[in-house]
Amino acid sequence: MARTTKTAGAEASLWKIWEGTLHRIGDKVLVVEAGEGRAWTAAELQAAALARLAQLADCRRGERIAFRLPNGADWFALFLAIQAAGLAAMPLDAGLPNEACLETARRLGASALFLDGAWHHFNKRGSLRFRPGICCVKLTSGSTGLPKIIECRPGHLLADGANIIGTMGLRAVDRNLAAVPLGHSYGLGNVVLPLLLRGIPAVCAANYVPRQLVEWIGLHGITVLPAVPALFRVLAALPSGTSLAPLRLAISAGAPLAPEVARAFRERFGLPIHNFYGSSETGGICYDRTGSASLDGRSVGKPLRGVTVTLSARGRIEVSGLAVAVPRGRHRLPDQGEWNGRKELILLGRTGGGANIGGKKVHPSEIERLLRSLPAVSDAVVWTAHVGGRDLLAAAVETSLERSELERSLAAQLPAWKLPKRYFLARELPRTARGKLDLPALRRQL
């Protein structure tokens, strides 16, 4: 037990923050595993964390500990144990295959990996040198090769959690539905940190169908739903008369939210969807406080409390603040944007990626934005494909429309040389665990 009281350095640790919350909230239910109907009190979560802590006795402070666990009490217990031991948590995607988990953990310098209930330990000789004080290693999606790592100190995560709680008005009486992966930046900021900082319970959904979420929202008194646009699209299509009470706050991030989906959701349930924009390096950046911006797709809202957003002369988005987990607390994103008259941020696409079509320059993001604005289109991605020795534009569109209808709508607004020549249309496009379109899978369709 003495181990748990000697883990804090000069900077407040997540474990110390958790101990303060635990003392304050007593025996409150903090984690509910919706699929099994199992509820864990704060005291039970603490006991599970201490049991896991004993398994980390041979690890040296600062080492990276990778793990693959679904959303649930075990995830929280191991994450807390890693914090208590002064180690760095490296959560892996719950859907990552075993061999990929082993390879990722080994190559990214993890000392150990918890996988399918067993520990795998790696040779520490010649291991990577780590920066001191790192408590969590975020992994980007990494569509090719190894994912990029973002090393976070406790202060980065705590600042992000405080920014989100304060801006979104989260309260101790709320209940979060943890449908997004807890180890992603979105899940850490919107579910994990509110639980650690304010004792806001998490109702965990590891495997589910949308209809189950509706049942769980009523059964478990869920008031806050952080999710991705694809889930909101399915919910908006549920039969009339479906209720999401007592839900009060719907938050969408991870991918662009189509205005059509936002409008359908509000019409069906009487609730707006609040756009939320962030990145792994910065945590939360902007938030649509009223939910009105999502209805016409005009913006991703205004900067969160504690976050400063500036634009370069070429429109590159730069974020600074205590939550930014890069040197000097300032990060320039690959995204471009502009401010509208309401001082809200409009995303214009990513820098670079321009295509040369017939000797003329075109930016795929321009066509993407136009496609997403069309009725019956919930998402789209456009890229340059090399076919038969020449470059052409290819598009994957999530829609119920026929190709001829799409082409007719685009042709009314774009010159012929900007029109995609290859299409893949589907009512549901393949997505990653983070809710983003799976571009490698889509490229294989064309």
* Ordered DSSP codes for 293-355: HHHHT--S-EEPTT-EEEE-TT-EEEEESTT--SGGGEEEEEEEEEE-TTS-EEEEEESS--E
Domain ranges of the chain: 355-443
Q: Distance between CA atoms of 377 and 304, rounded to whole angstroms?
A: 29
Q: Is the pLDDT of residue 380 over 80?
A: yes
Residue 231 has pLDDT above 50, yes or no: yes
Structure tokens of 240?
């009339």
Is 271:227 a contact under the CB 8 Å cutoff?
A: no
Phi, psi of 26 (to 5 degrees): 65, -130
Element (H, E) at 290: none
Spatial neighbors of 311 by CB under 8 A, at least 6 apart, are 317, 318, 337, 338, 339
Q: What is the mean pLDDT of residues 410-414?
A: 90
Q: Which two tokens stand for residue 187?
A: 């899940």
The answer to whether the beta carbons of residues 40 and 29 sit under 8 Å apart is yes
When pLDDT is averaged across residues 219-246 and rounded to a whole number, the result is 94
CA atoms of 335 and 318, how far apart (whole Å): 9
Mean pLDDT across the chain, nearest whole number? 90
For residue 338, what are the CA distances in angstroms to 61, 299, 335, 363?
A: 43, 9, 10, 16
Which pLDDT value is given to residue 144?
A: 46
Residue 437: pLDDT band with limits 50, 70, 90: confident
Domain 355-443, classified CATH 3.40.50.12160, yes or no: no
Is residue 354 over pLDDT 80?
A: no
3-class secondary structure, 42: helix
Mean pLDDT across the stretch 286-291?
A: 98
Find out whether 113 and 66 touch, Cβ atoms under 8 Å.
Answer: yes
Beta-sheet pairing, 88-91 with 64-68: parallel
pLDDT at residue 118 tops 80 = yes
State the burial class of residue 1 (Cβ atoms within 10 Å of its Cβ: 0-12, 13-18, 19+): exposed
Residue 221 has pLDDT above 90, yes or no: yes
Which pLDDT does position 2 carry in this prediction?
A: 33
User: Are residues 426 and 418 in contact, defined by beta-carbon separation less than 8 angstroms?
Assistant: no
Mean pLDDT for 319-335 is 94
Phi, psi of 143 (to 5 degrees): -65, -25
Q: What is the pLDDT of residue 372?
A: 85
Poorest-pLDDT segment among 132-146, 187-201, 249-263, 396-410: 132-146
Cα 365 from Cα 354, distance rounded (Å): 9
Q: Are 301 and 289 in contact (CB under 8 A)?
A: yes
How far apart, in whole angstroms, are the C-alpha atoms of residue 17 and residue 251? 26
* Proportion of the chain above pLDDT 90, given as a percent: 71
State pLDDT tens for residues 129-170. Answer: 567 899 999 998 654 467 899 999 999 999 999 999 999 999
Which of 312, 298, 303 shows the shortest CA–CA distance to 256?
Answer: 298
Separation CA 415–CA 413 (nearest Å): 7
Q: How far apart are CA 311 and CA 49, in angstroms?
A: 43
- 33 within 8 A of 56, measured Cβ to Cβ: no
Average pLDDT of span 77-95: 96
Instruction: Tell me the average pLDDT across 166-189.
Output: 97
Q: Name which of 211-215, 345-349, 372-376 the model is least confident about.
A: 372-376
Match 């756009």 to its residue by tokens. Answer: 275
| d(C-alpha 416, C-alpha 305), whole Å | 44
- Model confidence, pTM: 0.86
How many angstroms separate the most distant Cα atoms in the chain? 71
Handedness of CA 174, 177, 182, 184 (dihedral sign): negative
Q: What's the CA gap between 37 and 205, in Å, rounded?
A: 11
